[in-house]
Structure 1
């Protein structure tokens, strides 16, 4: 693999971890895979084993690396002051650039190695983009991983000249590579969690915890299904669907277990295996209708069906 001039771009990580004032800066090195790269060549270039590189990036034995993929290269830094690090990492930059960069002792930084790769052209429809508010600790590397995309795509979408992002700013992020459930996790609101917890509490507070998670999973399955409304409020208050709405128990204040079950279901736990309905055989009206559907699991007093 040809060695090319390495272009370093900082991703500032705002961290609040306890590091002695005397400690040197800690750096995370991120290599962007180029055309023709292999894991063995990348590992050799950075003096690490291929197994360590795979393990550090959770690459399974049969997995292949792809163009544009970001790999974390584990390495240790020696004790240096901030100015020495500036000169080491940015020796190919102009002095004006160096003057605008400052490394603080005891902080954590990510350095992205992108050998001459230009930003791609992106044409993602607005319906597949969300507005994301940068929080403490966010980096483009982490966001690219969480949204199953690349740093280059995010930079191109937002016309960023560097990969430095600042807390409080807003950027566009693509959701076209996410499953409907993953998209829901990214856009869920506090009011949705509150309503979901109320529904769980009203419908299943006497059920075991996994049964409460299951009720939450059914509601979420409906929200992401094309056969039901697409918001929590519309799904939960759809006419004649949930007894807790009909008898007013939806107004009861949820307990801590209901909130925990709601968050567990939102994280993707689905004990029902994709069920859209559930009923209690002891109390359900029109039980014949449920029995005509595909039975999935029974949890506590509820039978879950598709």
Structure 2
């Protein structure tokens, strides 16, 4: 097993764009446990103590490592030149504008047994995603509850570098409906949600503004209501800000923050589908027939 790690393929997780190749980099090496590996053998091959390897990975004395587990290998700065050479050899197209930010973290994954898996995910469980600055296969796999191998296989990637603006397919079959919504919401939908929050709740505490946004999202996800932001918000007679025209006001930064919090899954209402202000509601008797979940500011939230 000795020395096997230094002749394998390295899969680059983090790719940032600016500066040049000579910029100072901080490397983080991640080793994927193979069949037959032991902590003592891994520690020996990376010239460290078992204690340091365990401490760096929060491994208790009775923890058993399994095939596929990922271990952070600390303190490899003295090998920067060697790692850098192998990393850049993974970039096949010299015309690509790929470079690294000064003082950036650069994580490299060592997996001697890595093979692209066979994937069979239906088209309705895939979304088109455009790579943003700082996106990595590691982070995308974590955020979409999948693996790097699945993403590479879905997109026929032969190397793990990503380009800003690159369109790739990502699976959503392991995500909840709310998580899928959060990853597919458009700028126009975010703007509309912020306008609805501002029109309905700009005088409410911040958590109350998030709560109004959560109600709208809960409706989008509910079979009892339409399934788009526009259809839910503009549904006849549902929101006073539409009736009185305040939906057209320009939302402030607080409303946008509340909208993002709600989209990201924060729901102070615990799943409410309705809200009303007891002081101003026109149809109080109907609202009182609903199950009250929580009061926030001037609003009562119900199902």
Question: TM-score band, normalised by the shorter chain?
Answer: 0.7 to 0.9
Instruction: For residue 140 of structure 1, report the CA deviation from its aligned partner.
Output: 0.7
Q: 2:164 aligned with 1:162, yes or no?
A: no
Instruction: For residue 134 of structure 1, report the CA deviation from its aligned partner.
Output: 1.4
Contact 1:13 1:109 in 2 (8 A): yes
In 1, the alpha carbon distance for the partners of 2:203 and 2:279 equals 14
Residue aligning to 2:27: 27
Please list, as runs of the form range in 1=range in 2, the aligned pairs for 1:68-107 lying within 5 A after superposition.
68=68, 70-78=70-78, 82=81, 84-85=82-83, 89=86
In 2, the alpha carbon distance for the partners of 1:22 and 1:272 equals 48
SS at match of 1:290: helix
In 2, the alpha carbon distance for the partners of 1:49 and 1:8 equals 20
Q: 1:150 to 1:104 in 2, by over 3 A?
A: closer
Deviations 1:56-101 (A, max 9, x none): xxxx999997754545433331275x4x5456x48xx99x98x99x
Q: 1:50 to 1:191 in 2, by over 3 A?
A: same
Contact 1:43 1:53 in 2 (8 A): no
Q: 2:155 aligned with 1:151, yes or no?
A: no
Q: 1:2 to 1:228 in 2, by over 3 A?
A: farther
Please list, as runs of the form range in 1=range in 2, the aligned pairs for 1:1-306 lying within 5 A after superposition.
6-11=8-13, 13-14=15-16, 23=24, 25-34=25-34, 46=46, 47=48, 48-54=52-58, 68=68, 70-78=70-78, 82=81, 84-85=82-83, 89=86, 108-306=105-303
Contact 2:56 2:72 in 1 (8 A): no
In 1, the alpha carbon distance for the partners of 2:39 and 2:227 equals 43
SS at match of 2:194: helix
Task: Output the aligned Cα RMSD.
Answer: 3.7
* TM-score in terms of structure 1 length: 0.80
Contact 2:195 2:248 in 1 (8 A): yes
The runs of 5 or more residues in structure 1 that have no matched partner are none
Instruction: For residue 109 of structure 1, report the CA deviation from its aligned partner.
Output: 3.3
Instruction: For residue 215 of structure 1, report the CA deviation from its aligned partner.
Output: 0.4
In 1, the alpha carbon distance for the partners of 2:144 and 2:252 equals 32
Which deviates further from its counterpart, 67-76 or 283-292? 67-76
In 1, the alpha carbon distance for the partners of 2:54 and 2:163 equals 34
In 2, the alpha carbon distance for the partners of 1:192 and 1:103 equals 34
* TM-score in terms of structure 2 length: 0.81
Contact 1:273 1:296 in 2 (8 A): yes
In 2, the alpha carbon distance for the partners of 1:40 and 1:273 equals 48
Instruction: For residue 282 of structure 1, report the CA deviation from its aligned partner.
Output: 1.8
Instruction: For residue 226 of structure 1, report the CA deviation from its aligned partner.
Output: 2.4
The runs of 5 or more residues in structure 2 that have no matched partner are none
